[in-house]
Structure 1
Amino acid sequence: MKLNQFLSPFRVIILAYAVLILIGTVLLYLPVSHKPGVTLTLMEALFTATSAITVTGLTVVNTADSFSLFGIAVLAVIIQLGGIGIMSLGTFIWLVTGRKINLSQRMLIMVDQNQLKFSGLVHLIKNMLAIAIVIEGIGAVILGTYYLNYFDPWHEAFLQGAFASLTAFTNSGFDITGQSLIPFAHDYFVQVVTMLLIVAGAIGFPVLVELKEYLSGKHSQYRFSLFTKVAVTTYLVLLVFGAVSIWLLERGHYYAGMAWHQQLFFSLFNSVTARSAGLATMDIAQYSAATLLLISGLMIIGASPSSVGGGIRTTTLAVMFLTIRAFAQGKQHVHVFGRELHDEDIRKAFIVLSVFIGGLFLAIVLIAAIEQGSDIDLVAIIFEVSSAFGTCGLSMGITADLSPFSQLILMVLMFIGRIGLVVLLFSMKKTETKQRYHYPKERIIIG
């Protein structure tokens, strides 16, 4: 097999992210990336680079205490590359240098951004980058200015604000406060700004592009795509469902004795951050087992497709729900918002969920077996695995205590979660050959 035949666009994307992780590992392993007196092992550098590229946020070292300004700059760059997408930033470089985007490059962009067609790709990338820069810039200015109340001197405040804006919008979960957002547990302004940045990054770039075009007023009768309608509806329903469910489960437990506004913001923020962001305003381990399992489910669902987040994605869940509803109603086709869903999309949704759940279960069993004899309980393992596979980054504080083999499993999960199961499955797919015959059909009993 020739090299160009072996390196399909799906395999090129996987290779590109793998190479970027290796480069990030080397840079973070260099002494110049560490604070005086701090030494990172190669495993710690590899785990940190993997978590940053996959915009997850799980860490085995304290970012604020371990990395120098150079190391933080390296983290910021690879987080941005992982969040926006390697091929998206590559497209920007091609455009700036005046190069034309050929067919093979468009195919890479399409795979990297989980798009279905070639048309409009360059337009999408231009808008994506512009929107990302504007949102992150506005967030950096707002938070940097506000952080003057917390940090001194002024350049430390704006460094904290810029990094906080980047990590919130890319849903990467990293922080340089040393305590995530726990210092701002009672500062609702910081929380609101952070939640808006998280939602903007997780809702999906096609949604933001369509919203931008709608607000521009260029189209008198603008029609949002079916993807935008389904993605936004599902995202908002899950956000409200998560917040209400967390409050109901914790009102007599962790929230007992708290003021109503504290309960509201803890519930709302944890519902938002569980979708892929991984930032925390509290010690998440203080929640009950029921709430932790609920949040694990939210992390598994994750964000929207073509966003900075991971998980099975909102549209996958929506398609499954709509398909089950149609089956229960005795309908042969699945309809939503006046449109009929494609059979291939329905099949893809169930394949993604099946493979995801299978991988999740296998990882839980393996880590539980490896960590036998330790003080780490099953709920913590389920939570950690869900966070890694959903590229969320929330943790009950066990990441650094896991054995190297368990950490390696988490790295594999983070990597798969970032590139996406569709890309992974298509990378293993053989060249299609047209079948010239069919076997006799026979029914089997289901359920």
Structure 2
Amino acid sequence: MLLKKSSRSQSRWKYWIKPWQQIDWLLFFVVVGVSFFGGLMIRSTELSQGLIDWWWHWIVSIIGACVALIIARVRYENLLEYHWYIYTAVNISLVAVMIIGKSAKGAQRWINIAGVPVQPSEFAKLAMIITLAALLHKTTASNLSSVFRAMAFTAIPWALVFIQPDLATSLVFGAIVLGMLYWANANPGWLVLMVSPIIAAILFSIQWPFTIAFSKDLVFGPLGLIWAVAMGIVGWRTLPWKRFGVSGIGAWALNMLGGEIGIFLWNHVLKEYQKGRLTSFLNPDQNLLTTGYHQHQSRIAIGAGEWLGWGLNKGPMTQLNFVPEQHTDFIFSAVGEEFGFIGCLILLSVFAFLCLRLLHIAQTAKDNFGSLLAIGVLAMIVFQVIVNVGMNVGLAPVAGIPLPWMSYGRSAMVTNFVSLGIVESVANFRTKKKYWS
């Protein structure tokens, strides 16, 4: 009788756990742990204000974790049938933001759905990962036609996000595209050339004694010219059109054009608050009470934590609300103040471990589509962690990029957990291991 009961309970256990037998449980619980810790830190930043954003953070995390487990049971290959619908729906939502969206802090990025503000640009990141994976899983990026096709389909949602304006999310798009193209066997030289116009735009804008300026929007700086020549050499060595030096001249001209477009965007397109963030980063001791205030206060808070920190709910900068937006973009400064250098190092080690698990899933996926999905999510997470931590410690401009699973933000949290669910589906439907006879 006891044997029958034991056998029956074992079969029930197999029935419930079998649909998830291949998922990466270590990755899943690490993410849940980071989300829980994020709630604790958000609570610490809001204790003196009596806010309950930390409760919402935990509630959305629980819902997101459940959604991730449900997605992990569904074969990720089904996304191939629906990726154009997903791509179209996201683009429609981005257009809708421009028409009926809610404006805040100088940007129009949110749509109210049943009284809840939703940020479509967050979901657009995941939609682009799915779309690019579908485009590249059969035809790799080893030829330029595949690269141009991927860039063309990325350009539409990227442009719609950029004009909101949401410069931060548009940069995440770039990281996703570069990471997935590299994984799809694109020539590294091509990827350098894709990024080179942005670097040219920055270098052309640097004022040197020998800068040649024909007008406000027609400036030639020495660093920009040297960079353009260097990229001409890269283009000549890596692009296929070598006859008469067409590839090298084309790459050089592209960077010259990129530099001038960058100057035009700076003078006529970028908002004042965006310019302020960039100039404050380049001159950290300038405008400490205006555009540089957030980053200055964050650096003070992290420095005050020293090695071991003040302890949870005991950081003076955090408890007295000296760091603006600390529960969102600057949550890492709360970790630095209350848990010190050691706490920051542990958190970064956890993120590194999380990224290694994503890389492992990409390497062991059964097909290119699953591998590209995992790499796209990895590129998104890595870029956001690097930029967010960088802006908290003063090594990157304030870009408004949240720290994954740590910062408060419902749309971002849901996007991250849905992304986790898709990656866990890739892991779940790898070559099956025999757990039970």
Give me the TM-score of the superposition, normalised by structure 1. Answer: 0.29
| Higher RCO (C-alpha under 8 Å, 6+ residues apart) | 2
Calculate the TM-score normalised by the size of structure 2.
0.30
